[in-house]
A = this chain, B = another copy of it.
Amino acid sequence: MTTIKDIARVAGVSVTTVSRALNGYSDVNKKTRQRIEEVAKELNYSPNTVARSLVMKKSKTIGLLVSDMNREGVKDNFTFEVLCGINEASANSDYDLVLFSTTSSKQSQKTYTQLCRERRVDGVILQGIKTDDPYLQEVVESDIPCVLVDIPQESETVGYVTTDNVEGAKKAVAHLIERGHKNIAMINGHEKADVSIRRLQGYMEVLNNEKVPYRSEWIKNGDFKEKVAEEVAMELLTEHPEITAVFCASDLMGLGVLKAVNKIGKKVPDDIAVIGYDDIMLASYANPSLSTIRQDKFKLGFEAAVLLIDMLEGREQSHARIIDTELIIRESTK
């Protein structure tokens, strides 16, 4: 493998000059630069970024700590869309992505921070991490620049990207009320997700504002899983036949609710209206198709990467980016 030393020898100059020429410094004679570039091409030279990283103390890599990159996670392409966004943003920069593959057993031996420090990533994006994850706190407290997806925390080195979940939930519930529903249940995710807390808040706010009564028995957690949501909904709708509409904190759970309604012999949307959250691919293909609050998942990832790179390059701005949501009306609330 060719090194700048080889080039220097062949071109009859010092390694310093080679380094400067190849890195586009101005204080290099035009002729010399040309000669060096020629030789570099001739010898099929590729710079060694590892060596460069060592001396520069910058690796030009972004670490990715993403949950649900396992056999389970494939059901839902939320994570993938975020990933695509991150990928596209970093493709526009000179950063590459390091995907930290970590299993739960490995995680107990080596913390996120260790992972990041060992690989010397310049910054890290966290996605799909629960708020009570012990390592979240660790990363946030470390001095590694870090952007969180859907966890609003901010500091000198920590930024976040999220959608306005309170607002999104309000849109969903307001839509149900507009459709004439009074007894609106909610299937939420779990308490360890910030989005769940906010979507619940939005749900309650609208009901309060619109003076629509709600009951705490109508609110259940479905753990963001289709199957769990289905079971919970079966119970809920059987025990509380007064419910005519369900707001779900994710489309996957919405799909579960669709199945549940079907199983208890009722019809969507005539007997029970259902609205989800996210707008995953399946939502429009479900039967009936699922109304939902669209989040631009791609943009979520894109903006996360842009924000992190901005932070890394010292382009200071706010460390928070909020992305719009959009109400998508389909058959399940018609």
A118 touches B47 (CB 8 A): yes
A91 touches B75 (CB 8 A): no
**Interface residue count for A (Cβ, 8 Å)?**
52
B101 touches A98 (CB 8 A): no
A96 in contact with B101 given A49-B120, A74-B77, A119-B49 (CB within 8 Å): yes
> With an 8 A cutoff between CB atoms, is A333 at the interface?
no
> Which residues in B have their C-beta under 8 angstroms from that of A79?
80
> Which residues in B have their C-beta under 8 angstroms from that of A119?
49-50, 96
A97 touches B96 (CB 8 A): no
What residue in chain B is nearest A46 (Cβ atoms)? B117
Report the minimal beta-carbon distance from A47 to chain B, rounded to whole angstroms: 6
> Which residues in B have their C-beta under 8 angstroms from that of A85?
71
State the CA gap A59–B114 with chains docked (Å).
17
Report the minimal beta-carbon distance from A305 to chain B, rounded to whole angstroms: 9
Known: A70-B88, A71-B84, A285-B285. 14 other contacts (CB 8 A): A46-B114, A46-B117, A49-B120, A50-B119, A71-B298, A73-B84, A74-B81, A91-B101, A96-B100, A97-B98, A99-B99, A285-B286, A285-B287, A287-B287
29 A-B pairs whose Cβ atoms sit less than 8 Å apart in the complex: A1-B117, A46-B114, A46-B117, A47-B118, A69-B83, A69-B84, A70-B88, A71-B298, A74-B81, A74-B84, A74-B281, A74-B297, A75-B281, A77-B77, A83-B83, A88-B101, A88-B103, A91-B103, A91-B106, A92-B103, A96-B98, A96-B99, A96-B100, A96-B101, A98-B99, A99-B99, A281-B282, A282-B282, A287-B287
